[in-house]
Amino acid sequence: MSAYHVVIIGGGATGAALAHDLTLRGVQVTLVERGEVTSGTTGRHHGLLHSGARYAVKDPESARECIQENTILRRIAPGSFELNDGLFVAITDEDLAYYDDFMEGCAATGIPTRTLSREEALRLEPNLNPDLKLAVQVPDGTMDAMRLPLRFLATAKHNGARILPFHRVTGLRFHGRTVVGVQGRDLVRNRDFTLDADLVVNAAGPWAEQIARMADVDVPVVPSPGVLVAVYGRWTNMVINRLHRAGDGDIVVPQRTLSVIGTSSWVVDDPDHLDVPEEHIRLMYEKGAEMIPALAHAPMRAAWAAARPLVGSRQAQSGRELSRTFKVFDHAEEGVEGFVTIVGGKATTARAMAEVTADLVVRKLGLDAPCRTREVVLLPHTAYYA
């Protein structure tokens, strides 16, 4: 273990994967999270282990990251997925017209596909809209939004990282313009805390801009919420996507005894103010039922919203136009040393985000330690609390 101490702000998928990565590289890690771990965006995501096919046409960079990570995660986190694959279904002629672009995109980004006739698709998933024209099978999967990051955290903890939930960061500590630690409030004991650090990583997702402002630097993150609706019943076993340009309510992810329909997309200023507009709930039902008619009458278990931490122009209108890829900021470029921000991406790509970030962190600390997270099999999520 090196003598270097890195503090990570944010206990979402990104912070969790980073804590694991840095710990494996021999860095001392303390992760601070204002609530329970994964209580930000991560725990609330759709639960889709992306194959990348959704982004294959418009966002190939993101698609490539997804398929690569999808393969790695199956290896390092066995038992954390419902691995029944996914279907992209073409319902209308317009959907069908998208087929060629889609197949081309998948081929170019290395996503395996298999085209199924209407009859084959209906045999696999009898609840699909019988009007469907064809379907394409891709290696999508269902993940448990909380448990996968818990496995990163459990493994990091086991290897010596310190995880501090219910610790809210309220400011950074400086030496000149160099960040040398964090300060905040320990909400378990109701008292202030400070932590010294050789480097601080801001992994606060949609809150990353709030943290960056503590160092007077700017991170162009756009909190872009989406609504998700969970209905009772497992109406399919595979993940069902609409074969068209990514839009609203075009993914249904079965999980345990529920089916989750999502999502919509808009932009907000404050990720702590997310409402769940009634018309979005209706839209999810409507769009979901175009693929799986029975969803129209499935009773609702819950409807909620979560904010994507998208990187991009603040002028964005809906968030759909922004890439799902991620970006690491070394704030030394703005004159602030000892401070790095990682935002964007997907929960599926958290490991890759962590790898790139940790590469930068160890370089800045002057260490020579390669990434090992592609091979190390994670502890089960239960080990986080046990």
Site for ligand FAD, rule CB under 6 A: 9-15, 32-35, 39-42, 45-48, 50, 168-169, 203-207, 226, 228, 262-263, 306-309, 345-348
Cα 352 from Cα 348, distance rounded (Å)? 9
Q: How far is the CB of 283 from ligand FAD (least distance, A)?
A: 13
Of other proteins, ligand FAD, none, which one does residue 204 interact with (CB within 5 to 8 Å by kind)? ligand FAD
- 52, 62 contact by CB (below 8 A): yes
Binding range to other proteins, per CB under 8 A, among 171-179, 272-280, 283-291, 318-326? 272-280
Cα 168 from Cα 184, distance rounded (Å)? 5
- 204, 210 contact by CB (below 8 A): yes
Of other proteins, ligand FAD, none, which one does residue 257 interact with (CB within 5 to 8 Å by kind)? other proteins
Tokens coding 232 = 């009772």
Q: How far is the CB of 53 from other proteins (least distance, A)?
A: 14
Q: Does 246 bind other proteins (CB under 8 A)?
A: no
Q: Where on the phi/psi map is residue 152: left (φ > 0), alpha (ψ -120 to 50), or beta?
A: alpha
Q: For ligand FAD, which is the closer residue by CB, 134 or 262? A: 262
CA angle in degrees (0–180, nearest 5) for 267-143-377: 120
Cβ count near 85 (within 10 Å): 17
Q: Does 302 bind other proteins (CB under 8 A)?
A: yes
Of other proteins, ligand FAD, none, which one does residue 302 interact with (CB within 5 to 8 Å by kind)? other proteins
Of other proteins, ligand FAD, none, which one does residue 142 interact with (CB within 5 to 8 Å by kind)? other proteins
- Going by their DSSP bridges, the two strands 239-242 and 251-255 should be labelled as antiparallel
Cα 126 from Cα 133, distance rounded (Å)? 14
Q: Does 330 bind other proteins (CB under 8 A)?
A: no
- 208, 218 contact by CB (below 8 A): no
Q: For ligand FAD, which is the closer residue by CB, 32 or 230? A: 32
Sign of the C-alpha dihedral, residues 205, 207, 211, 212? positive
Q: How far is the CB of 43 from ligand FAD (least distance, A)?
A: 7
Of other proteins, ligand FAD, none, which one does residue 65 interact with (CB within 5 to 8 Å by kind)? none
Q: For ligand FAD, which is the closer residue by CB, 134 or 284? A: 284
Q: For other proteins, which is the closer residue by CB, 138 or 310? A: 138
Q: What is the DSSP string of 363-379?
A: HHHT------TTTPPPP
Q: For other proteins, which is the closer residue by CB, 28 or 38? A: 38
Amino acid at 332: A
How is residue 54 annotated by DSSP?
Answer: G
How is residue 183 annotated by DSSP?
Answer: E
Q: For ligand FAD, which is the closer residue by CB, 205 or 249? A: 205
Of ligand FAD, other proteins, none, which one does residue 276 interact with (CB within 5 to 8 Å by kind)? other proteins
Q: 99, 166, 174, 193: which one contacts other proteins (CB under 8 A)?
A: 166
Q: Does 79 bind other proteins (CB under 8 A)?
A: yes
What residues numbered 200-229 form the site for other proteins, per CB under 8 A?
228
Q: Which of 341, 280, 231, 305 is nearest to 41 (CA)?
A: 305
Q: 94, 272, 279, 321: which one contacts other proteins (CB under 8 A)?
A: 272
Q: 2, 26, 72, 85: which one contacts other proteins (CB under 8 A)?
A: 85
Cα 253 from Cα 81, distance rounded (Å)? 12
Q: Does 80 bind other proteins (CB under 8 A)?
A: yes
Q: Does 68 bind other proteins (CB under 8 A)?
A: no
Q: 276, 316, 332, 367: which one contacts other proteins (CB under 8 A)?
A: 276
- 76, 278 contact by CB (below 8 A): no
Contacts of 294 by beta carbon, 8 Å cutoff, 6+ apart:
127, 233, 235
Q: For other proteins, which is the closer residue by CB, 232 or 335? A: 232
SS (H, E, C) 147-167: HHHHHHHHHHHHCCCEEECCE
